[in-house]
């Protein structure tokens, strides 16, 4: 939402973002916000965007109960914070999670604002897709009712792919006229081919390597373990090839340990990098990877 919000501000709009204290993807609040996160609310301005951060209980554990507590705590605190914000012309709620949609729905009804619900993940369909539960389970049935309510009560639904629209229309009975597709954009002035300084390549210890890079969240649904399984055979066939995994996530710690235990020297993990550094990593790469477990629903993205 940062890029969109900055764009709207540049167009002259008054934009307020109601969010949590930054903790993604590890579920640990960033050190610059540690002391502030004890407050119920915290206000700041970032590049002209008014930001209101609400209390939550983030967790780095994969426990579904702890994650649910995180979502519920943010729903309650963000709904309360929203009551003190001035009325806007529109409220935009982006998912996941569906609890954010509930906050948006509550505030839109209490303050008489139209609701735009942005869908970036298909919940609760993703629950059985990743093996986290069955369609007959209580969590699935609960989130299914929440999703139906949000689709029904939203004034406009925005999705990022054509397949998302098809899924919502076919499975939820939503009118196609109520759904708009706005695909993720790329800043081609920022992400563009460029020559990388040889010193940078040397600093990254990538000289004379064929670099295959994945940059992003390293979670269960991304299936990065397939790289570790293939690494020994690939080393035998292409000794100069190096897998570079840049990012963090719920599955990273396990994969780092697995890589070390397996003695893989052609797989390297790096911590998340500043956005300004990402074009450099892309330009030193011979191949860039997009990862996902082999699940049809996840391929819709």
pLDDT digits (tens, 9 = 90+) for 198-221: 888 998 889 999 999 999 989 888
pLDDT in tens, 181-196: 999 888 899 999 988 8
19-61 pLDDT per residue, tens:
998 887 677 788 888 888 778 889 999 999 999 999 988 776 5
Element (H, E) at 61: none
Same-fold call for 2-181 versus 198-300: yes
pLDDT reported for residue 249 = 86
May I ask the CATH class of domain 2-181?
alpha beta
How would residue 2 be classed by pLDDT, with cut points 50, 70 and 90?
A: confident
What percentage of the chain has pLDDT greater than the value 90?
61
Q: What's the whole-number mean pLDDT along residues 157-167?
A: 93
Bigger pLDDT: 253 vs 293: 253
Query: What does the pLDDT read at residue 261?
Result: 96
Q: What does the pLDDT average to over 146-158?
A: 96
* Unique residue bearing structure tokens 């705590």: 73
Say what the pLDDT of residue 122 is: 87
How far, rounded to the nearest angstrom, does the alpha carbon of residue 238 sit from its chain's CA centroid?
33
Segment 261-266 long-range contacts (CB within 8 Å, at least 24 positions apart): 262/228, 262/231, 262/232, 264/228, 264/231, 264/232, 264/235, 265/235, 266/231, 266/234, 266/235, 266/241, 266/242
DSSP structure class, residue 199: H
Give ∠ CA 261-262-267 in degrees, rounded to 5.
Answer: 105
Token readout for 140 is 């699935």
Peptide bond into 96 cis (omega under 30): yes
**Given strand 49-54, what is the order of strands in its sheet?**
16-20, 49-54, 41-46
Question: pTM above 0.75?
Answer: yes
pLDDT of residue 220: 81
- How far lies 52's CA from each of 40, 82, 84, 141, 236, in Å? 10, 9, 11, 32, 53
Whether domain 198-300 has CATH 3.40.50.2000: the reply is: yes
Q: What pLDDT, on a 0 to 100 scale, did the predictor assign at position 264?
A: 96
**Structural domain spans, the chain:** 2-181, 198-300
CA distance 8 to 14: 8
**Among candidate residues 225, 102, 239, 117, the one with its CA nearest the CA of residue 178:** 117
- Summarize the chain as % helix, strand, coil (round to 5): 45, 15, 40
Best CA proximity match to 270, nearest among 224, 183, 204: 204
pLDDT per residue over 64-97, tens digit each? 777 788 889 999 999 999 999 999 999 999 988 8
174/158 Cα distance (integer angstroms): 12
Span 121-134, average pLDDT: 78
Hey, what are 55's tokens? 């209390």
């Amino acid at each position: 939402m940062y890029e969109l919000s900055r764009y709207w501000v540049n167009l002259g709009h008054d934009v307020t973002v109601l969010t949590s204290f930054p903790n993604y993807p590890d579920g640990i609040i960033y050190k610059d916000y540690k002391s502030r996160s004890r407050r119920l609310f915290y206000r700041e301005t970032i590049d002209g965007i008014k930001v209101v951060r609400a209390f939550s209980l983030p967790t780095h554990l994969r426990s579904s109960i702890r994650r649910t507590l995180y979502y519920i705590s943010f729903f309650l605190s963000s709904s309360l914070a929203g009551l003190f914000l001035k009325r806007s012309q529109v409220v935009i709620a982006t998912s996941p999670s569906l609890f954010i949609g509930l906050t948006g729905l509550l505030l839109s009804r209490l303050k008489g604002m139209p609701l735009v619900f942005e869908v970036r993940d298909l919940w609760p369909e993703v629950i059985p897709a990743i093996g986290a539960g069955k369609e007959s389970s209580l969590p699935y049935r609960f989130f299914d009712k929440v999703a139906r309510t949000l689709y029904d009560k939203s004034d406009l639904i925005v999705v990022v792919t054509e397949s998302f629209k098809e899924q919502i229309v076919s499975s939820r009975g939503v009118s196609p006229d109520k759904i708009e597709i706005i695909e993720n954009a790329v800043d081609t002035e920022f992400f563009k081919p460029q020559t990388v300084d040889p010193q940078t390549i040397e600093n990254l210890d990538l000289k004379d390597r064929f670099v295959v890079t994945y940059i992003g969240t390293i979670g269960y649904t991304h299936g990065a373990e397939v790289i570790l399984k293939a690494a020994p055979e690939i080393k035998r066939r292409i000794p100069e090839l190096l897998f570079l995994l840049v990012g963090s996530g719920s599955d990273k710690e396990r994969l780092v340990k697995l890589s070390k235990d397996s003695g893989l020297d052609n797989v390297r993990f790096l911590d998340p990098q500043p956005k300004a550094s990402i074009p450099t990593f892309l330009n030193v790469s011979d191949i860039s990877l997009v990862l996902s477990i082999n699940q049809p629903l996840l391929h819709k993205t």
